[in-house]
Amino acid sequence: MNQRLRAIYRVTFIGLVVNLVLAAGKLAAGLVGRSGAMIADAVHSLSDMATDVVVLVFAKLSAKPEDATHNFGHGKYETLATVIISLFLAGVGIGILWDSIGAIIRAVRGEWLPRPGLIALIAAVVSIVVKELLYQYTVREGRRLESPSVVANAWHHRSDALSSIGTFIGIACAYFLGDKWRVADPVVASIVSLFIFKIAYDLIRDGFGELLERSLPADVEQEIRNIVVHSPEVHDLHALRTRRIGSAMAVDVHIRVDGSMEVERSHELVADIKRRLRQRFGDRIIVTIQVDPIISAGHPSSC
């Protein structure tokens, strides 16, 4: 198992253990404290555990080397994991919104909503602090490892923290302000669900963009162009094509050089361009460079 995969496993396993302990604690607090919002929050933490398992499974698949059926490696398994996690997020948001609307309707009809216990309020505070710390740790490691699925999982942790904030506000209003304020719990929870939808949408958009071969951002492509034409021996470039393959970048480009350049020198030039691209973007960049000699009057001919 390579170092990157071990690091992904470590950060995800830590999240799995934290979610297990936190979900059990919130479920107990919700039952003892008679708080439906806290029980729902516990279910949210359980959904985090499910996404942790998804990351663990797909990280191993994406780390498999190139083979006869996957010439560019298996990096897109990690992108698929990101999409799956995002769909989990959207599902959690729908569940929270559905429960919140139901509670609001019951309150409008005059139905009595139970006053939650203090233990539920304490559990909400603990959940906010723990999940925000877990988000900060996971997103930092995900960006360091250039792992989109770990970053997506980090946002799932933050969605749980956001859910707990809504739970805390609702429980606090119901606990301190009396019967009429107990509807604050589902109202705030429904607002939190909208934030969760926004996070899920952004992650799904990026994930599907990668699966559908979207190019790298314009500023990244411009940086690649600058590196490729850095040598005065490269007259210009054309047919630049870029994409992401999981945490790796793929670059395909044609360069134009003097037609009298020796083959050995053209190979050295290509090797130097690849070296500088890897210095800038890391070893997980896949580079293909086609050399086109300029024969005469600026008309290139591919070789």
Domain boundary among 211, 242, 264: 211
How many whole angstroms separate alpha carbon 240 and alpha carbon 287? 11
Same domain? For 172 and 295 the reply is no
Residue with more model confidence, 196 or 143: 143
Q: How far apart are CA 31 and CA 104, in angstroms?
A: 21
46, 14: one domain: yes
Same domain, 261 and 282: yes
- The pLDDT score that the predictor gives to residue 175 is 84
Q: Which structural domain range is residue 293 located in?
A: 218-300
Q: What's the token pair of residue 103?
A: 């509670």
Question: Same domain for 74 and 175?
Answer: yes
Query: What does the pLDDT read at residue 300?
Result: 53
Distances in Å between the Cα of 147 and the Cα atoms of 17, 51, 135, 260, 295 are 20, 14, 14, 44, 44
Q: Are residues 223 and 199 in the same domain?
A: no
pLDDT tens digits for range 99-119 = 888 888 888 887 877 778 899
Q: What is the mean pLDDT of residues 163-181?
A: 83
Nearest in space to 127 (alpha carbons), one of 39, 186, 14, 203 = 39
Residue-by-residue DSSP string for 171-224:
HHHHHHS-GGGTTHHHHHHHHHHHHHHHHHHHHHHHHHHHHTTPPPPHHHHHHH
Same domain, 203 and 228: no
Query: Where does a domain end: 177, 211, 245?
Result: 211
Rounded Cα–Cα distance for residues 193 and 169 (Å)? 14
Give me the pLDDT at residue 8, please. 85
Residue 301: pLDDT band by 50, 70, 90 thresholds?
low
Determine contact, residues 82/207, Cβ cutoff 8 Å.
yes
Which pLDDT value is given to residue 160? 81
Mean pLDDT lowest for which of 60-74, 90-104, 114-128?
60-74
Residue 284 scores a pLDDT above 80: no
Q: Which residue has the higher pLDDT, 261 or 99?
A: 261
Q: Beta strand pairing status for 248-258 and 285-296?
A: parallel
Residues 223 and 187 in one domain: no
Regarding whether 295 and 191 lie in a shared domain, the answer is no
Indicate whether 13 pLDDT > 80: yes
Last residue of a domain, which of 187, 211, 235? 211
Higher-confidence residue of 263 and 52: namely 263
- pLDDT tens-place string over residues 216-245: 999 999 999 999 999 899 999 998 999 988
Mean predicted confidence (pLDDT) in 204-225: 89
- The domain that contains 38 carries what CATH number? 1.20.1510.10
Q: Based on the domain organization, do 192 and 68 belong to the same domain?
A: yes
> Does residue 267 come out as left (phi exceeding 0), alpha (psi in the -120 to 50 range) or beta?
alpha
Give the residue, 14 or 153, on which the prediction is more confident: 14
Predicted pLDDT at 246 = 73
* Whole-number Å distance between alpha carbons of 19 and 90: 19
For residue 28, the model assigns a pLDDT of 94
User: What share of the chain in percent tops pLDDT 70?
Assistant: 93
Q: Are residues 197 and 238 in the same domain?
A: no
Of the pLDDT bands very low, low, confident and very high (cuts 50, 70, 90), residue 76 is: confident
Mean pLDDT, residues 156-179: 83
CATH number of the domain where residue 231 is located:
3.30.70.1350
The residue that leads in pLDDT, 106 or 43, is 106
- Residue 287, pLDDT score: 93
Q: Does 202 share its domain with 241? A: no
- Residue 297: its pLDDT value, please? 53
Give the number of domains in the chain: 2
Domain match, 236 and 95 both: no
